[in-house]
Amino acid sequence: MTVVRLSSGDLWIHSPIKLSESVIEKIDSLGCVKYLIAPNHLHHLFLSSWVAAYPNAEVYGTNEVIKKRSDISFHASLDNSKGYAWAPDIEQELFSGSPLMEECVFYHSSSRTLIVTDLVENFSGQDFNYWQRVVAKGVGILAPHGKMPLDWRLSFMFGKADARKHLDRLLSWKPQLLVMAHGEIVTENAGEFLQQSFKWLA
């Protein structure tokens, strides 16, 4: 989960985690929850509890998420338009080109931080056993050389041109930090890291 305090003071919650009293206490100490973001169809599991806890928050998801979660009332879908209320603080790009999944990627301009979910995974491997490390390295998700998981990469066989366009947009933001749902945060030169991570698109 990534939490951004917008210039308005409201909170923008990306990929909400399991809600607990301690999480609620921490979130409430930061500000008012205004937006709940489900960036791809794998990161929506805890939305219901957040909607119940913060009924005035607006909920956004990709079209895939919205189709999957008919139990939730979404304010709008996530795409490449610039009409979102958080646009003064956060830019976005819907990364498509794969039949498996699309993901909305975000860029917080004032901190120069790129926010991804499964687009890049970069596990340290410290908690992995030997075989888990071997597998993680084999599929390309072991730090410091993390990238998109192998199965998702392979699914871009016929969508590489689209993926390159999306990558160019991400690189145009010149991010310095890269925050992801799975793995070690990249704290400097995030643009260079991305270029290395997406060499498979060449």
pLDDT in tens, 121-146: 887 767 776 666 766 676 666 778 78
Structure-block tokens of residue 58? 């607006």
Task: Please give the Cα distance from 22 to 4 (Å, whole number).
Answer: 18
Mean pLDDT of 37-65: 95
Task: Please give the Cα distance from 76 to 104 (Å, whole number).
Answer: 13
Q: Is the pLDDT of residue 152 over 90?
A: no
Task: Please give the Cα distance from 60 to 75 (Å, whole number).
Answer: 6
- Of 64, 60, 18, 59, residue with least CA distance to 41: 64
Residue 199 neighbours by CB distance under 10 Å: 8
Q: What is the pLDDT of residue 144?
A: 80
Residue carrying the six token digits 């919205």: 66
Domains of the chain as residue ranges with CATH: 1-79 (3.60.15.10), 89-202 (3.60.15.10)
Mean pLDDT of 63-81: 94
Q: What is the pLDDT of residue 26?
A: 98
Q: What is the pLDDT of residue 139?
A: 65
Phi (first) and psi of residue 147, to 5 degrees: -155, -170
Residue with the bigger pLDDT between 123 and 19: it is: 19
Q: What is the pLDDT of residue 136?
A: 64
**Percentage of the chain surpassing pLDDT 70?**
94
**Percentage of the chain surpassing pLDDT 90?**
68
Asked if residues 124 and 184 have their Cβ atoms less than 8 Å apart, the reply is yes
Q: What is the pLDDT of residue 145?
A: 76
- Of 117, 87, 124, 89, residue with least CA distance to 103: 117
Q: Is the pLDDT of residue 64 over 70?
A: yes
Query: How much is the pTM?
Result: 0.91
